[in-house]
Structures are given as C-alpha cells and as structure tokens.
Amino acid sequence: MDSIEVIKTRRSIRKFTDGPVPDEIIDKIIEAGTWAPSGMNNQPWKFAVIRLELTAGNKFYKPDSISPMGLLNV
C-alpha cells in the first residue's frame, strides 16, 4: 500500500474499551512516535505511559473526571 492510499483510507475509530492497552501495543505506538520528523532533527520526544484505575476509592476519581473521549481531567 503506498503513502497516498494510506492517507486516503485512514479512518478514526472512536470506540473505547475499559480494558488495559497491552504493553506490546504501547511499545509500537511509542516506536512509531520516535520515527516522526522533528525540526532540525533535534528529536525532542518524551513519552509518558500512565496506568491508573479510576475507581471510587482512587483519589483522582470524580464522577465528572472522565471526558467523553475517556481522558482523565485533573
């Protein structure tokens, strides 16, 4: 598949699950991010993987703390 075909057939999927993302998938995402171009090739990447179970007992949990996209608002 060539680059133009990839761009034209790319789709955004907005279905989320409650399950954790496997380490292998996170590793692939981070590796893809390190291949992104950077200005003057300075490669300023910093990645943070945060694993946090949001339950009523967690100090970060508030009923309105989860956005519709599943992101934590702190």
pTM: 0.54
pLDDT tens digit sequence for 17-51: 777 888 899 899 889 888 888 888 888 888 888 77
Asked whether residue 10 carries a pLDDT value surpassing 60, the answer given is yes
pLDDT of 18 reads: 72
Averaged confidence pLDDT in the chain: 77
pLDDT of 73 reads: 47
Q: Which percentage of the chain shows pLDDT scores above 70?
A: 69
* Whole-number Å distance between alpha carbons of 61 and 56: 6
Contact call for residues 60 and 54 (beta carbons, < 8 A): yes
